[in-house]
Amino acid sequence: MAQPLWLSHPSSLDHVIPGHPERPERLIGLNRALEASDDFRGWARMESPAATRAQLAAVHTEALIDGVERLCAAGGGAIDMDTACVAATWEAALHAAGGAVALVDALLSGEATAGFSAHRPPGHHAEAGQAMGFCFFDSIAVGAAHALRTVPRVLVLDWDVHHGNGTNAIFHSSPDVLFASIHQSPLYPGTGRASDVGSGAGEGYTVNLPVPPGSGDETYGSLVEHVIAPLARAYEPGLVLVSAGFDAHHADPLASCQVTEAGFEGMTASLKRVCAELGVPLGLVLEGGYSVEALADSVCALLGVLGADEPPPPVSLARHPLAEQALERLGTYFGTTSLA
C-alpha cells in the first residue's frame, strides 16, 4: 500500500562550512523532532540515490557540473561570499538533487501518496551555469525536468523567503513548468519582480509574488489559496512540487517575514486540496530555514496534512490585496474567468 515518503541521505550532514548559517544542525534538529512526531510514524523512509550527470545536465551546464566536482575534489573553496564547498559537498549536492528525482519517481509511479525530500545543501538559487546563495545544483529544477519525461506539465511553487532565481531562470522560456514564487522583497538575491512573467514561449508561466517585510500567515495563505490554487486548476499540471523553505518563519534570523507553523500548515492544506481535486501528487523539497527550532516545528506542523489520505476541509480566508493584484495581472495569460 502506498505511503507518504520521506527521502534523506547521511551525506547531507557532511557538508560543513564553519560559521555558516546553512549548517548540519538544521537537519539534526529536524530529525530529532520527527522521531518524536506521531504524524511521522506512517511515513516510509528511503535513502536518496545520487543524481546522475545526465539528470544534472538537463538543467545545468557541463562547465558548472565539472567545476563543482573539481573544486570539491581539490578539497573545496569559496565560490562567492555566501557559497563555499568542502570535499564532502560533492556527494551531498548529488544526493540532494537525487532526492528530488527519486521523489518525483515515487510520486508519479504511485509508490508514494505524497513526499518530502529533506537534504542539504539547498538548491533553488543555483542557475544553469552558476552556483550561488548556498546552492550548487538546483534540486527542484532537476526533479521537475525529470518529471517532464512522464507528464506534460509541472507546477513548482517556491515559498522560501528568498526568491528562487535559479529555478526562475532555468524555466524562464518554458511553458512546461509553471514557476511561482512568494518571496520577501527587497531581499537577497534581488530578483523576482512581479513584472518578470517569463519570456518567449514561457511568457506568463513565471509568476512572481513579492511580499513586503512583515508579511505573515494572512498574506502567504491568501496567495496560495487565491492565486496558486486557481492557477493550478487553469494550468492542469501532472505534478506539483514545492521549494519548501522555512525562512519566512517569524523566528528566522535571515529575513523579516512573520509566518507561523500554522501558516505553513495552511499553505500545505491549500495545495493538498487542489492536488486532490486535480488528481495529481504533491511533493516538497527542502530549501532554506535557518532557525533550527522553527524549521523543525514548521515541518512537523505540516506533516499530518501532507501525509493524510484526504485533504482537510476548506477554510474561509480573506482575499489579500496582493492576491487581487496578482489575479489581475495573471488574467492576461490565463483569463479572468478561469482564475475566478
Q: Could you tell me the pLDDT band of residue 271, with boundaries at 50, 70 and 90?
A: very high
Choosing from 15, 125, 146, 183, which is the catalytic residue?
125
Residue 337 pLDDT level (bands cut at 50, 70, 90) = confident
CB of 160 closer than 8 Å to CB of 244: yes
Contact status, residue 47 vs residue 9, Cβ threshold 8 Å: yes
Report whether 257 contacts 184 (CB < 8 A). yes
User: Is residue 53, in this structure, part of any structural domain at all?
Assistant: yes
| Per-residue cell: 241 | 512540487
Within-domain flag for 22: yes
Query: pLDDT of 44-67, one tens digit each?
Result: 999 999 999 999 999 999 999 999
Grid cell digits, residue 294: 522553527
Q: How far apart are CA 164 and CA 210, in angstroms?
A: 11
Cβ pair 35, 27 in contact under 8 A: no
- Domain assignment of residue 340, yes or no: no
Distance from C-alpha of 146 to C-alpha of 138, rounded to nearest angstrom = 12
**Domain presence at residue 302:** yes
Number of separate domains in the chain: 1
Q: Respond yes or no: is residue 124 known to be catalytic.
A: no
Rounded to the nearest angstrom, the gap between the alpha carbon of residue 307 and the centroid of all alpha carbons in its chain is 17
Residue 127 lies in a domain: yes
pTM for the complete prediction?
A: 0.98
pLDDT score of 16 more than 80: yes
CATH number at residue 221: 3.40.800.20
- Written as one string, the DSSP assignment of 289-303 is ---HHHHHHHHHHHH
Q: Is 110 left (phi over 0), alpha (psi -120 to 50) or beta?
A: left
Instruction: Determine the structural domain holding residue 160 and report its residue range.
Output: 3-334
CA dist., res. 93 & res. 72, Å (int)? 11
Residues 130-142: tens digit of each pLDDT: 999 999 999 999 9
Classify residue 339: in a domain, yes or no: no
